[in-house]
Each structure stands twice: as C-alpha cells, then as structure tokens.
Structure 1
Amino acid sequence: MNNFLTRLEIQGFKSFASKTQLALHARVVGIVGPNGSGKSNIIDAIRWVLGERGAKQLRGDVLSNLMFAGTPTKQAASIARVSLTFNNKERLLPIDSEEVTLTRRIDRSGTTKFLLNDVEVRLKDVVHMLARARMGTRGLTIIGQGQSDVFVRIGPRERREMIEEIIGLKEYRLKKQTAERRLERSKQNMQLVQAQLKELIPHLRLLRSQRRKWEKRDELERQLKELAVRYFATRYHALQGTLRDAEAALRDGEHRKKDMEQRVSDVERQVRAMQQKTGKRDDLQVMHGQLRTLQEEQLNVQQALARAEARLEFRSGERKTSVADAGQLIQLMQSFVHEATQTLESTSDALRNVVVRWLKKFKAAYDQEYKIETTLPRTNEVQTLQKQLERIVREIAKAQTEEDALLSKREKGNQEFRKFIEALEQEKNNVRTIERDMQTHVLTSERTKFKIQEIDGKWRSLGFSSNELRRAQPDRSAVPEDEAEKTEHTIERLRVDVIAAGEIDAVLIEEAKETEERYTFLEGELQDLEKASQDLHRVIHTLDERIHKDFKKYFDLVNREFNTYFRLMFRGGKARLRLIQKQQFTKDETVDGEQEEIVGAEPKIEQESIAGIDIQLSLPRKKMTNIDMLSGGEKTLVSLAALFALIAVSPPPFLVLDEIDAALDEVNAQRFAELIKEFSHKTQFIIVTHNRVTMEVIDTLYGITMGNEGVSRVLSMKLEEAERVAG
C-alpha cells in the first residue's frame, strides 16, 4: 500500500526557525529526542496545517505565538509556514492530482492563509477535503501528548464524533451541519421576512383599497375616453373634414373669382376698344350738323331764286305766261324742296327719295325753264342759283349716303357691343355667384370652427388635452345622430363619476407600486426560503439516513472488535460500547443539555436519535464497571483497544501518536508495538516515542535535538542512536 504522507516541511513554526523537511515514505515513522527538543512541535505542525484553530490544542496562548519567537543569536520569524504533501494516486483527496500539497502560513498580524497546490483556499474547503479522507484534528487521527486515554476521558458525544470521523461519516456530518446552519439561517430569514410581511400587510391593504378606487377611476376614465372618442373625436374629425372641404372650396372660389374678375376686365377692355373702333356718337351729330348747314344754304338759294324770279317777272312781261308756268314749276319745286328738307330732319331716306323723284319728274320742266331763262335777259343769276341747288342736292345725297354707311356701321357695332355687354354681364353674374358661394363657404367654415371649438371645450372639460383629441383615431362605430343627446348625458355622468372617485395621488401610486413590488418580492423570498427549507430538510433527512445506515453498520463491527482488542489488552474480561439515545420524556441524564437515556447493547437506533456513546466493561478478576475508577494505564489500554478496533474496521490513511505508549508497561508496550506493526499494512503511523520496544517496529527514525540557539534540528538515525537520544 502506498504511503499517504510523503513529506513535511516546517519553517518559522515554534522551535523550527529554519526550513526543515522530513521525508515520510515509511509505513511507520518514529520521532525521538529528549524532552524539550521540539518533538511535539512536529505533531503540532501537522495538527495546525490540517486546520486546527484552537491555540490550546496547539499548546499555545494565541496563534501568533506559533511563530519562532527568536533567541539572542537567532532573529524571530516574520511568518510561520507548514506544508504537508500527500500521495493522492488513489484519490483519497477529492483533488485531480497525484500529489497534493497543503500549506498553511501565518504572519505577525495573525493573518492565516491556506494553499492547496499553491492555490489559496478556505479553511472550510480544507476541513471538507480532509473529512472525505477520514482525517481531522480533534478525533483519533492525531493523539497528542498526554491524550493516550482520550477515548475514555471524553464525553459520549465526542466519543461518537471520534468514531464517525474514523469510519468516514464526518463528511456527511459536516454536510448536515452546513445544511442545518443554512436551515437555521433560512428559518431566521423566514421569520424576518414574515415579520416584514406582517408589518407591510396592513399598509398594503390600505394602499390596495385606494388602488381599487384608482382602478375604478381608471376604468371609468377608460369608459369615458372610449365613449368620448366615439362621440367627440369622431365628430371632431368629421368637422375637421368639413372644415377642410369648406376651406378648400373657399380657396377654389378665390381662384375662380380672380379668374372671373380677370375675364370681366378683359371684356370691359374689349368693350372700350369696340367703342373706339365703331366710332363715337359725335360722328352722327356732325353729320346732322352738315345736313342742317346744307338746308340753311338751300333756303338761302331758294330765297335768292325767288328774288331773281321776281326781277325776271318784272322785266319779261311778254314771257309772262311762260315765266308764270316756270315760276309755278319753281314754286312747286321749292315746295318739294322745303318738304324734303323738313322730311330730312325726320328721316333722311324720305328726303333722298323725294329729291330723286323730283329730279326725275320735273327734269323736263326744269330744262324748259332753263331754256327760257337763257333766252331771257338776266337769266344767269337763276342759272347760278340752279347750279347751287343741284350742288346742294348732290351734297345732301352724299351726306345721306355717308349717314347710311355710318348708321349701318353703327348698327353692326351696336350688335357686337351688345354681345360684349351681354358677355360682360354674364361674367359679372358668375363673379356674383362665386361670391355668394364663397360667402356660403365662409359661413360654413365659421360655423364648423365654432362647432370644433365647442367639441374641443367639451373634450377638455373631461380632463383630456386638445392634443389627445387631435391624436385620437375616430371610431368606426360612431354614435348615431339620434343618440347624440343620450350619449352626451352618459359622458356627463361618467365625468361626474370620475370626479367623485377623487384625484389620483402620484406619490401614493408610486408608493403603492413600490409596496406591491416589495410585498411580491418578500412573498417570493418567503416561498424561496420555504422551498429552500424543504430542500434542506430533505438533504438533512437523506444525510441522517446515510449516517444512520453507515453508523449502524460500522458500530456493530466496532463493538465486536472493541471487545476483541479489550480482551487482548487485558487478557480477558469484556467490553462494549453503548448508544445513548435522545428522549423527550426522560430527564435522568443529559448530554450537552439534551435529554438522554442509557440503552442496552442492541438498541433500536432511530434516525438522528443518538446522543452519544458510553463504555461498558468488565475487567478480568475485578467487579468494576465504572470507567472513572480505572487507573491511568488501564484507561490507556481501553483507549488503545478502541483505537485498534476502529483501525480494524475502517483503517484511516494515517495516524499521528504522540507518546501514547508512555504509560504502558513492557508487556503492554510489546502488544502495542505488535499491533502497530500489524496495522501498518493498512495505516501509516507517525509516532513520537521514548519506548525502545516501539522503536523496534519503526521503519524510519528521526531524532530531534535543540542546540544552544534554541532551534530544533532533525536528524535521521538508526535504532541505536535513537535509543541514546531518547534515553
């Protein structure tokens, strides 16, 4: 079997000032030396590196005294360091490495560090790791100087713990203790959470009551807003559409009006141009003036003709008849001329016709008169006047022709003018129509704006903003017009209900939210803690079952072996271990303040019912069963019997024994040495001894000496040398 311990290094620890190394390759390693040389300091170093925290267990006042204190010739150590190396090929330690070095160091400030293969770890990690390998500092793994009878001296509970450590139950016990501590913390936390919930619930009820009112208000507001959107927002958007249409129509009317006004302006401009083109009314007035001038001139000619005729009548008597006829003709002509002149004033057409008819009808008479006058003396004047008259007639005819042309042109212009005037009037009518339409659109727009403002006011009176109204999407299920009044009544009722529900306090809302969140959190915490407690109860129950099962199995074996080794040590007699069970109804004895009862050799072991272990024995040739009456040597033998019984049932990887054979006589020392030799095949031993019999079974001996400097030194030696050093 491989040696579990392979090397021990000590530096600055107690009397080992310098770095000291012990090779632990043998199955039985012995340490010898005179008293005070520092042998037990090696045992203390092993105990310390394995996690011992009690200064008393390390034979000191405080842990900082573990460092080399210094001598007049040797400086004090600033740190103490101990390393223990294990062969882990069989993976006794839960580390994936064939060699594991556990190091512990402490400085002057008292700061302690644990290193596992040079990686810092916690003490808790070290304790659990060693428990997996069935090692510890308070059990039978290390039996210090003066503790050879430890199994007898300790109480029932410690005795049970020693056995549990050797048989490998300490790992489960530690897990159970951890679970129990966590369970206790969970219970405390549960109580704390429950207290917080108890304090929180009344306030939460009040806030919830207030919140229900707010929720009712929220529901009322929701209904109010939903109905308001159906009613007001739908109408608002419809009116907005109407307003947009009216404004668009108004803008369109403005454009059309401008177009019509431009067309009216164009027509008026064309009318003015037409007036200039067809001539002014003054042209006819000028023509009438010219006709009047001709008429006046005709009158003058007629008067002159009359005077000439008178003279002609006076001077040509013999031609009186002919002249008279001619005079009649002239008078008749003058009469027609006068009539034509008057008629000309009323109608130029009649004048023209008269003149033409007269010229045709009386041309022969005129020619005759002319012949007479030419034959008569002084007819030149008449001829001249006749020519003037002809000229006037021609001019009158010409004037009439021009007047006809002007009248025709005027009539044509008047017709075109009337068309333009009619078109102008039509355009003006169109403008007036557009203006009337625009006025209608303006009125529609104003009425719509008023309705929009009215709706906006009603909307805002409900506590909503105008922006919300503008953003609100119109509901397709709009309120019919015949239900408008009923809907407004409903809206008003909801508004009153909202007001009656009271204003929502934002601070209280936030407080309610935070309180609810706090309550939910605490409820969750409580549920988690309850679940954790249940899980921990299950873990503890499982561990209890495992501890109970394994303890029961090993206890019976240990009890049998204990009796065997007791009889070997005492050469007879008998001994057994008795279980002390917890009872809730007995007050006869207590262990650590718990009620307990002594039971028989084959008790019914209930889960987690074992309070401790007692020893019942009978020495050969003696009637003594009380272990307190045993001598020191007898107590040592009983303890050794228990130790070897445990090794036989569940051999630990190593044991450290510090002078536990000191109280043995030679015969028992021989038995002790033989048993060490026998069990060294299962367990590695580190033994501090002065006994030569024990030295004989040791494979490797180290001698410890201390010089004048007060520093321990380690020497490898043979048996003879060891005897001299020990002696």
Structure 2
Amino acid sequence: MFLKNLEVFGFKSFADRTRIEFSAGITALLGPNGCGKSNVVDAVKWVLGEQAAKTMRAEKMEDVIFNGTESRKPLNVAEVSLTISNDEGLLPIDTSEITIKRRLYRSGEGEYWINNQQCKLRDVRELFWDTGVGKAAYSVMEQGKIDQILSSKPEDRRYLFEEAAGITRFKVKRAEAERKLERTEDNMRQIELTLTEVKRSYDSLKIQADKTITHRKLKDDIFNYELDIQLLRLKGFIQDRHNRESDIEKAREGRSRVQAQMDEVNAAMSEHMDEVNEMESRLVKIQQKIYGLAIEERSKNEQCRLLEQSKHEAKEKINQLEVKKKGVEEKIEILTDDADEQEGSLHNLNKRLEEIAKNICSFEENITVAGSRITENDRRSVEIEKEISVLDVKRSELQKQLEAITENIVTQLDIKLKEAGYSVQGAKNAQDRVENLVAQLKVLASGRRKLFSDFAAADSPSKADISRFGSAAVSAFSEIEKLLENLEQAVKAYVSVTPSFIEEFLSPEGIITQKRSIDLHIQRNTESVNEKREHIVSLKSQNLDLALKMEEYRVTLENLRINQAQMKTQIQSAEDQLRLLHRELSGQEAVLHDLQNELFTETKRFDDIDTHIADMREEIAGIQSEGVLLTKQLENLEKTIDSRNTDVAGKREVLTRLTSDIGKFQQQLEKASLDLATAETEIRNIQENFRDTYSRDLMEFEERMLTVNVPAAQLREQLTLTRQALRDLGSVNYLAPEEFAETKKRFDFLTVQIADLQKAKDDLKRITEEIRAESTELFLATYNKIKKNFHNMFRRLFGGGRAELRLVDPQNVLLSGIDIFAQPPGKKLENIALLSGGEKTMTAVSLLFATYMVRPSPFCLLDEIDAALDEANVLRFVQTLREFGNVSQYIVITHNKKTVAGAGTLLGVTMEESGVSKLITIKLENDSEGNIILPEPEPFEEEDVEPEQNVYIPPHPPKRRKTAAGTPVPETEDGSEKPSDVQTD
C-alpha cells in the first residue's frame, strides 16, 4: 500500500477536520451529485502542488477555502495532509512514512510541509518526479484528462510517456540547464561588450603607460648621468684642491727658506738698501695684487663660462617645457571636447530614459484604467445579475399569479357551466336543429325562387296559371312562416343551452384579459432578462478584449522596462566614461599647472643667470683695467730698482738669484693659490648649480662619488643620447601608469570572468547533450514498450481490432508529438478524434493500463472515467482494473454499479448538514459462497454517522443487500431493488 490516509480541513466543502483512511486494492468513492466527491480528488491534486484555480473549479485559489453556510461562518484557512507509505523506498526520503501538507490562508499566503518541515513547492514536486504521481501525472485521471490524452494536439500527450519513461527529472534539469545556458550567454554578451570598451582603454592606456614609464626612466637616467658627471667634476676639483693645497705648502716652505737667505743678504746691504727695500716691498705688493687680480679674473671667467652653460641649459629646458605645455594644452582641449561630447550623449540618454519612464507610467495607467473598466464591468455584471434575479423573482410571482388565475379560470368555468346546466349533448342537439331548419329554409327559398323565375319568364300566362301561381305562392310563404317559427323556437332553445358567462370572461375586466395581461408581463420580463443577459455577454466580451489589451500592454510594459534597464546600463557606462575623462582631464590640468610652475621657475632662473653674467663681465672688465695700471707701475718700479742697485752688483747677483728663486716659489705659490681658488670656486659652483637644478645637495651622493669609475666623455655621450630619446618621446600622460594599472585589473578580472563563463557554457552544453541523449534513450525504450502494450491492451478491452502509436517527428524524439490511431473491430484504422465517446474512453484506458505495465503509479485516482462506457465495456474495464489492483492502489469515483461491485472498500460521501461534506467507510468482505457481505459502516473520528444518512449503497446480486440501518433493501415486482430508503444518483 502506498497511499495511507488523507486529512482535510477547511478545503471546499470539508468544514470539519476529516481523516480518510485508504485501503489497498480498489476503493470506490460514492455519493449523490453535489455532495463533494470530486473535492477529495481536488484535495489530493491540491496538496501535490496544483496551482491552477480553474483546475480546482474555482475563480481564484482562495475560493478553495470553506466559504461558510447559512449556519456556519467561513474559515480563514484550508489545510490538506497526505500520508504516504514509503516502505519500499520509492521516494528519496529515508523514512517509512512521508506526510505532505499544504496550507492556504485567505490572505493569499501559502505553506508547504514535508514531514512537519516547511519547504517549497519545488521540493514537493521534485519528491514525486518520475513516479507517476503528481498534479499533472497519470496518477489522477478525470473525464477532462481523457480529453487531454486524446486531444487533437499530439504534443499534449507527451507528459504521459515522459512520466512513464522517468525523464521528467531530466527534462526539468535540461530546461534548467538551458535557462542557465541562456543566462550565461547573456552574461557573456554583456561582459564582452564591457570588455570591448575596457580593451580600447586598456590598449590606449598601455601605450601611454609604457611611454610614461619610458619617460620616467629616461628622466631618471638623465638625472643619474648628470649626477655622475657632476660628481666626477666635483671629485676632480676636490682632488685638485688637495693637490694645490700641498703645492702651496711646499712653495711657502721654499719661499721661506729663500727669504731667509735674502734676509741675510739684505741685512748686509741694509744700510744701502732701505730705499731698495721699500721699493721691493712695493714691488712685491704690486706683484701680489697683479697675481691676485689674475687669479680673480680667471675665476670670474670660469664662473662666467659656467653661467653661460647654465644659461644655455636653462634655455633648452624652457623650450622643452614650452613644447610640453603646448602638448598638454592640446590634450586638455581634446579631453574637454570629449567630455562635452560625452555629457551631451549622457544628456540624450537621460532624456530617452525619461521618455521610457513616461511611457511606462502611461502603460501602467492604461493597465490600471483597463483593470478599472474590467472591475466596473464585473460590478455592472453583478448588478445586472441581481436585476435578473429580481426579474426572475417577479417572473416567478407572475408565474404563480398565472397559475392561480388559470386555476381560477378552470374553477369559474366549471362553476358557471354547472350553474347554466350546460350539457355538451344538449348544445349539440340544439345546434343541429337550428342548422336543419336553416337548411330547409335555404332549400324552400331556392325552389320558390326558381318557380317565380319561370313564372316571370312566361310571355302571357293564363288566368289558370296566375291562379295556380298565387296558390303556390301562398302555400310557399305559409311553409316559410312555419319554418321561421320553428327556427325561432330552435334558436331560443340553443340560446338557453349556451353559457352567458363567456362574455364576462372575455370583457376588458374579465379573467381572460387578466391572464393575457400577466402573459404580456411575463413576456416583457423574459425579454428584459434576455436583454440583460446579452448585456452581460457584451460586458464579458469587453472584459475579454480589455484583458487582451492589458496583456499586450503588459508585454509592451515589460519590453519598456527591459529597455529602461538597458538604458540605465548605458547611462552608467557613459557616466563611468565621463568620470574617466574628467579624471584624466584633472590629471592633465595638474600636469599643466606643474609645467607652468616649472616654466616660471626656469624662466626666472634664466633671467637671474643672465643678470649674474652681465655683472660678472663688468667685474672682469674692472679687474683687467686695474691689472693694466698695476703692470705699468710694476715696470716703472722695476726700472727704478735696477737703476738703484747698480752699485751693489756683486751682491745683486746673489740677491737676483735669490729673488729669482723666491720669484719662482712665489709664482708657484701664486699659481697654486690661483688653482686652489679656482678649484674651490668650481666646487662651490658645481654644488650651487646642482642645488639650483635639482633642489638637492650634491654632497648627499658623496659615497656614490667614490664609486663612479665611468669616463666623463662616455657619460656625456650617453647623456646626449638620452636627452635626444626624451625629446623624441614627445608629450606623455603622467597619470597613465596608475590609470593603466586600474584598467588592467578590471581587464584581467573581466577576462577571467569570460573564461569562467565560457567554461560554464561548455559544461552546460555538455550536460544538456548528455541529458538529451539519456532522455532520448529512456523515452524511446519506454515508448516502444507502451506502444506494444497499448496494442495488446486495446485488443483485449475491445475484443479485437488494433491500435498504434506513432511519433509525429521521429527525428526529434524529445519534442515530437504522439499520434494515436485506433481500429475497433469492424472499423478502418482512423485517428482517435473520430471515435465515439465510449471508444475514446476505452482507448484512453488501454493507454493508461499499457503505461502501468511499464511504470505503475503507486496509486491512481479515477474520477468517473467509466461514465461513457456501456455495460459490456464496463465489465472489461472492471476485470482489468481488478488485475491491476495488485500492482497499484485505485480510488474510483463512479456511479456505475458494476464498477462499485469490483471495489474492496467503499467511501460514502454525504451532506447531513447543508454545504458540509462528511464521509463514512464501508469495507466489503466475501462470504463462503463468494458473495459480498456489507458490515455496519465505520464512523469517522470527529462524530458518529447516523444510520439514516443519505449514503449510496451499490447492489450486488444475487444476494439481497442491507441498508446502512441494517434492513433489507426492498424489491420491485421484477425482482430489482427498490431504492426507497437508499439514495441513488
């Protein structure tokens, strides 16, 4: 046994909590029409997940909740629980019993439970996949479903074979995989579009970033080359300063030694040499001044040369900065134009988005207006229905009045006839007498007319003829007079037997006129009802048109919303692009600002150097002028000294020699001092120039100075090449590397996503193909088995003939429809749509049992599918049903006695209380002779069932059955049972 019990509360007509225990084999569900039998089937379908309100015979799903009766209030919840035995482990839950419960509140909220654990509708449906059980499987067969199986559309029959083949799960998974595949392809298209845009930025920024990195490297190389060159120069001048300081020390020592010797000579010549000494002293001072001026001039010239070099470098740098500034300004202009164009595009997109939003509002208003019109039409239809009800009540009253007045007419007529002594025979005799007398008068008048005509035609009648004519005339008038007297008496007799009250009936105030007036009111009432019903039909037609328009509006509205979402995506992309442009523009403006500042600084430095050079040249001119004057003074003084020292020639030679020696030492000292001053000036100039150029102290790199070993010429050559490469590089985007890093990160992320989506797409395609192949194999195997079983079962149920299943499209098995061809005995093979109702039912039953031979459903509900079968076919159906009763559990709703006779358990449905369904169970047993024994009914738990309840008890000849009260069922004269106390349908 698979289906154990069903518990219903608040579902349709089951107001009280009702528990239905099901037995193995065949169970018949009985009861009069309208008692709620089909509600049991609806409850099973509903708890298994039925979502269509029309399938539940309701307008909306909330209608399945008990709506109350005259004596009961409505309930706010409907609940159905279905307990299933899972001893064989058919369902994928490791428990011996599974309880499915569904609950619906009047607010519209619904809940599903599996073994008292709340779940989703999908969980319930997945539980019964490929078992034949479900709201749309072949475990529930109704008359309407017979038509669905035998529909003219072959595609509508596929569900039966798919469920039997066990591919419903695969079909759902394949559909889900195809939906995922479609979503994946949509995502790939969107990401590819985004990746295309990012790729353009990626390529552009990559070139710019590489160029910027190269620019930065070249700048660093230039700095390092210039640093090394300056360090080498500084190193050389420091070494030279050290050497000059050593030379000065040596020269001073030699001069001191020679000076001591000269002091000895001068001491000897002191008395003669005071004046010479004075002049010598002056000579030395002048020479020292001359030497100092020479050293200062050389230093000034060197400084001037260095300043000229710095001026030239500053000029080159200013030119470079102006070129860079021009390039940045051009790029800023281009970016500004792009930003303006992008803002215009963004404005247009926002405008289009506003238009779409307005259209959405317009269509929503149209839908609201159409819905209001539908509601108004429904309200008007309800009002017209109420008016029709009022007219029906009035017509009913008029019908009652008509019946009353008709009865009154008959009564009054009977009374009047009795009062008048009216006799049909007397009236007939009186009428016959009047008619005879009238006929005699006609004959007599006709004969006399001919006689008078003949007499009038005579030319000259004789007296005898005239006398004879006069006598005949007198005799004729005497007969006429006698006949008229008799006619008068006959008329009086006829009048005496004719009712005089007919005029009263036919008068304007008479009862017949009243009846005609009521008939006219009834006719007008009926015409008004027909007009109102036509108006209702017109309103419903309008509602149908409005519903179609609303559906069109909704489709258009959905498309507009999709366009709105796409437009928002485009706007977001445009805004992102605009932000990138603004960010790049800001970066370029910052670069321009830095260039302007740097250009201003270099220009100011160039002007300062130029001023310094002019001042230096003026100083050099002054030094040269003073040197010329001192040289003339020295020459004059030397001549005077020579003339004054002629008298001391002997000592003069020594003194000359010593003077020459001291002069040499003095020259060495002067030269070393000049070189020292030049070296110190060079060192100071190098440090100042480096500090002015790079705003850094050159002595920070003192350690590096000791390690530089590349020749200066090679460094200058590399510096020249690097500067040329930098000039060839042109303008660069200084923010490009950072922007490229951000774009590269996004590009790599999108690339990985594309690869992941492609892999997912390939996996989904592979899974879909595998599912399709496996589903095709399972479907074909099941289809071939059902096809063979269907032919055999058809021959068995029809007693011959043949049946065939054909795939409409054998090349496309998973989508192909299935045609059914049937040939009952004695007929030609034809499509199922051409068969009679009974033949269709038997064909559908054959297909159902053929399916059960392949994959039997654990239980099956059959709702009056035997209604169109004749007695012989019912016997075949019941016999086959009994055979399959050992395989599946059957619950049959039927009114056929022979079908009921084949059941092992009876479920009786009754309405003891109006509008509230209740059930009783009757289990059937066989006696020693094989006949069915009816035990006392088993009451349900909620309350006892009275024995007089209106329960349908089927007959089972030859033994007489008993009613629910235990009394024998009475029989009619022909031996059949008389349904006196037993309600039948």
TM bucket (normalised to shorter chain) is 0.5 to 0.7
Q: 1:117 to 1:505 in 2, by over 3 A?
A: farther
Q: Secondary structure at the match of 2:806?
A: strand
Check whether the contact 1:147–1:660 (CA below 8 A) recurs between aligned residues: no
Residue of structure 1 in register with 2:439 after alignment: none
Q: For structure 1, which segment, 571-580 or 446-455, has the greater mean C-alpha deviation from structure 2 after superposition?
A: 446-455
Match of 2:709 among 480, 487, 491: 480
Amino acid of the structure 2 residue aligned with 1:715:
I
Taking the aligned partners of 2:862 and 2:98, their CA distance within structure 1 comes to: 23
Residue of structure 2 in register with 1:426 after alignment: none
Report the alpha carbon displacement of residue 560 of structure 1 after superposing the two structures with TM: 0.9
The answer to whether the aligner puts 1:703 opposite 2:873 as a matched pair is no
Alignment deviations for residues 295-330 of structure 1 (CA, whole Å, 9 cap, x no partner): xxxxxxxxxxxxxxxxxxxxxxxxxxxxxxxxxxxx
Report the alpha carbon displacement of residue 450 of structure 1 after superposing the two structures with TM: 6.9
Report the alpha carbon displacement of residue 559 of structure 1 after superposing the two structures with TM: 0.7
Residue of structure 2 in register with 1:622 after alignment: 827
Alignment deviations for residues 278-307 of structure 1 (CA, whole Å, 9 cap, x no partner): xxxxxxxxxxxxxxxxxxxxxxxxxxxxxx
Taking the aligned partners of 2:89 and 2:699, their CA distance within structure 1 comes to: 79
* Structure 2 unaligned spans of 5+: 243-675, 925-933, 935-950, 954-981
Q: How does 1:149-164 map to 2 (within 5 A)?
A: 149-153=147-151, 155-164=153-162
Q: How does 1:176-325 map to 2 (within 5 A)?
A: 176-221=174-219, 223=221
Amino acid of the structure 1 residue aligned with 2:138:
L
Check whether the contact 2:164–2:782 (CA below 8 A) recurs between aligned residues: no
Q: Secondary structure at the match of 1:58?
A: coil
The answer to whether the aligner puts 1:565 opposite 2:563 as a matched pair is no
Residue of structure 2 in register with 1:504 after alignment: 733
The answer to whether the aligner puts 1:670 opposite 2:875 as a matched pair is yes
The answer to whether the aligner puts 1:636 opposite 2:841 as a matched pair is yes
Q: Secondary structure at the match of 1:105?
A: strand
The answer to whether the aligner puts 1:713 opposite 2:941 as a matched pair is no
Amino acid of the structure 1 residue aligned with 2:101:
T
Taking the aligned partners of 1:119 and 1:151, their CA distance within structure 2 comes to: 36
Report the alpha carbon displacement of residue 54 of structure 1 after superposing the two structures with TM: 1.5
Check whether the contact 2:198–2:747 (CA below 8 A) recurs between aligned residues: yes
Amino acid of the structure 1 residue aligned with 2:852:
I
Residue of structure 1 in register with 2:326 after alignment: none
Match of 2:803 among 558, 571, 575: 575
Check whether the contact 1:459–1:469 (CA below 8 A) recurs between aligned residues: no
Q: Secondary structure at the match of 1:56?
A: coil
Report the alpha carbon displacement of residue 71 of structure 1 after superposing the two structures with TM: 2.5
Residue of structure 1 in register with 2:106 after alignment: 108
Taking the aligned partners of 2:705 and 2:910, their CA distance within structure 1 comes to: 107
Check whether the contact 1:13–1:45 (CA below 8 A) recurs between aligned residues: yes
Match of 1:55 among 49, 53, 56: 53
Amino acid of the structure 2 residue aligned with 1:121:
C
Taking the aligned partners of 1:82 and 1:706, their CA distance within structure 2 comes to: 20
Residue of structure 2 in register with 1:653 after alignment: 858
Q: Secondary structure at the match of 1:490?
A: helix
Q: Secondary structure at the match of 1:611?
A: coil
Alignment deviations for residues 75-122 of structure 1 (CA, whole Å, 9 cap, x no partner): 222222222122223222222222222222222232222222222222
Q: 1:443 to 1:201 in 2, by over 3 A?
A: closer
Check whether the contact 1:230–1:474 (CA below 8 A) recurs between aligned residues: no
Q: Secondary structure at the match of 2:830?
A: coil
Residue of structure 2 in register with 1:537 after alignment: 765
Taking the aligned partners of 1:532 and 1:665, their CA distance within structure 2 comes to: 59
Taking the aligned partners of 1:693 and 1:86, their CA distance within structure 2 comes to: 29
Taking the aligned partners of 1:468 and 1:62, their CA distance within structure 2 comes to: 91
Amino acid of the structure 1 residue aligned with 2:839:
E
Taking the aligned partners of 2:750 and 2:699, their CA distance within structure 1 comes to: 43
Taking the aligned partners of 2:706 and 2:43, their CA distance within structure 1 comes to: 91
Check whether the contact 2:10–2:66 (CA below 8 A) recurs between aligned residues: yes
Taking the aligned partners of 1:706 and 1:607, their CA distance within structure 2 comes to: 52
Q: Secondary structure at the match of 2:907?
A: strand
Check whether the contact 1:100–1:116 (CA below 8 A) recurs between aligned residues: yes
Q: How does 1:320-469 map to 2 (within 5 A)?
A: 454-460=689-695
Check whether the contact 1:580–1:610 (CA below 8 A) recurs between aligned residues: no
Residue of structure 2 in register with 1:131 after alignment: 129
Amino acid of the structure 2 residue aligned with 1:532:
A
Alignment deviations for residues 9-54 of structure 1 (CA, whole Å, 9 cap, x no partner): 2222222222222122423333221111111111111112112222
Taking the aligned partners of 1:178 and 1:84, their CA distance within structure 2 comes to: 29
Alignment deviations for residues 394-426 of structure 1 (CA, whole Å, 9 cap, x no partner): xxxxxxxxxxxxxxxxxxxxxxxxxxxxxxxxx
Alignment deviations for residues 649-693 of structure 1 (CA, whole Å, 9 cap, x no partner): 111222221111121122211221222221122212222222222
Taking the aligned partners of 2:108 and 2:757, their CA distance within structure 1 comes to: 37
Amino acid of the structure 1 residue aligned with 2:769:
H
Check whether the contact 1:136–1:165 (CA below 8 A) recurs between aligned residues: no
Bigger Rg, which one: 1
Check whether the contact 1:229–1:473 (CA below 8 A) recurs between aligned residues: no
Taking the aligned partners of 2:97 and 2:803, their CA distance within structure 1 comes to: 41
Q: Secondary structure at the match of 2:906?
A: strand
Check whether the contact 1:659–1:688 (CA below 8 A) recurs between aligned residues: yes
Aligned length: 496
Q: Secondary structure at the match of 1:537?
A: helix
Identity of aligned residues (%): 33
Residue of structure 1 in register with 2:7 after alignment: 9
Give the alignment's TM-score, normalised by structure 1.
0.61
Report the alpha carbon displacement of residue 152 of structure 1 after superposing the two structures with TM: 1.1
Alignment deviations for residues 451-485 of structure 1 (CA, whole Å, 9 cap, x no partner): 5565455545xxxxx59996x9977994315x235
Taking the aligned partners of 2:177 and 2:168, their CA distance within structure 1 comes to: 14
Residue of structure 2 in register with 1:521 after alignment: 749
Amino acid of the structure 2 residue aligned with 1:484:
A
Residue of structure 1 in register with 2:378 after alignment: none
RMSD over aligned CA atoms reads 3.6
Q: Secondary structure at the match of 1:35?
A: coil
Q: 1:127 to 1:514 in 2, by over 3 A?
A: farther
Amino acid of the structure 2 residue aligned with 1:169:
I
Residue of structure 2 in register with 1:96 after alignment: 94
Report the alpha carbon displacement of residue 211 of structure 1 after superposing the two structures with TM: 2.9
Alignment deviations for residues 202-261 of structure 1 (CA, whole Å, 9 cap, x no partner): 34433333233234335435655776787789999x99x99xxx9xxxxxxxxxxxxxxx
Amino acid of the structure 2 residue aligned with 1:555:
Y
* Bigger helix fraction: 2
Taking the aligned partners of 1:228 and 1:45, their CA distance within structure 2 comes to: 95
Alignment deviations for residues 559-604 of structure 1 (CA, whole Å, 9 cap, x no partner): 11100111112111101100111xxxxxxxxxxxxxxxxxxxxxxx
Give the alignment's TM-score, normalised by structure 2.
0.46
Taking the aligned partners of 1:621 and 1:128, their CA distance within structure 2 comes to: 45
Alignment deviations for residues 617-650 of structure 1 (CA, whole Å, 9 cap, x no partner): 2221112512221111111011000000000111
Report the alpha carbon displacement of residue 134 of structure 1 after superposing the two structures with TM: 3.5
Check whether the contact 2:786–2:854 (CA below 8 A) recurs between aligned residues: yes
Amino acid of the structure 2 residue aligned with 1:550:
L
Report the alpha carbon displacement of residue 545 of structure 1 after superposing the two structures with TM: 1.4
Residue of structure 2 in register with 1:306 after alignment: none
Taking the aligned partners of 1:14 and 1:531, their CA distance within structure 2 comes to: 52
* Structure 1 unaligned spans of 5+: 247-440, 461-465, 582-604
Q: Secondary structure at the match of 1:104?
A: strand
Alignment deviations for residues 337-370 of structure 1 (CA, whole Å, 9 cap, x no partner): xxxxxxxxxxxxxxxxxxxxxxxxxxxxxxxxxx
Amino acid of the structure 1 residue aligned with 2:64:
L
Alignment deviations for residues 361-401 of structure 1 (CA, whole Å, 9 cap, x no partner): xxxxxxxxxxxxxxxxxxxxxxxxxxxxxxxxxxxxxxxxx
Q: Secondary structure at the match of 1:100?
A: strand
Residue of structure 1 in register with 2:16 after alignment: 18
Check whether the contact 2:150–2:844 (CA below 8 A) recurs between aligned residues: yes
Check whether the contact 2:26–2:890 (CA below 8 A) recurs between aligned residues: yes
Match of 1:612 among 817, 836, 846: 817
Q: 1:217 to 1:31 in 2, by over 3 A?
A: farther
Residue of structure 2 in register with 1:325 after alignment: none
